[in-house]
Amino acid sequence: MKTKKEFAVKSMKKDAVSDIMIKDLKTVTDTTTLIEAHMSMESKGVHHLLVVDEKGILVGVLSDRDVKKFSSPFAGSKLEQRQDRATMSIPISKIMTKKVFSCGPNDSIKTCTEVMLEKSIHSVPIVHEKGKLVGLVTATDLLRFFIKSM
């Protein structure tokens, strides 16, 4: 008789990330400004924006931590200065992560989990071999998968 742990490991090996990935993606281009990205994240309730070119090829990722790191604490307040507005107007190409760790849609959930753990990241974009963005797997998606497997 298999234990719950053995079952989870076995099912994890055969399941592909395409089984759990998010397909309704929130994307932007690298010319999107910091303020536009911030507003988009807030309105859509997401922590990551995937940055694509005109062909849908993944060129970067912008996290809510990136936005917070570069945003002025005075932006939008009575203390806002000209430089605060200027900072919020920079294109995200200047601050996004360009070296993106990704997986393919047929990669195993185990592989995706290992990428997240090894790189200390909370989401992995899913791309076809030519870089076309097709999905996203977040740590929350993995937790849901593991709970269902138990």
DSSP state of 55: T
75-93 per-position pLDDT tens digit: 666 676 677 667 778 899 9
Which regions of 41-141 does DSSP assign to beta strands (E)? 48-52, 58-63, 123-127, 133-138
The domains found in the chain, sorted by start residue, are 4-149 (3.10.580.10)
Confidence band for 8, pLDDT divided at 50, 70 and 90: very low
68: pLDDT strictly greater than 50: yes
Most confident of 14-18, 64-68, 139-143: 139-143
**What number is the average pLDDT over the span 143-147?**
93
Q: How far apart are CA 106 and CA 43, in angstroms?
A: 31
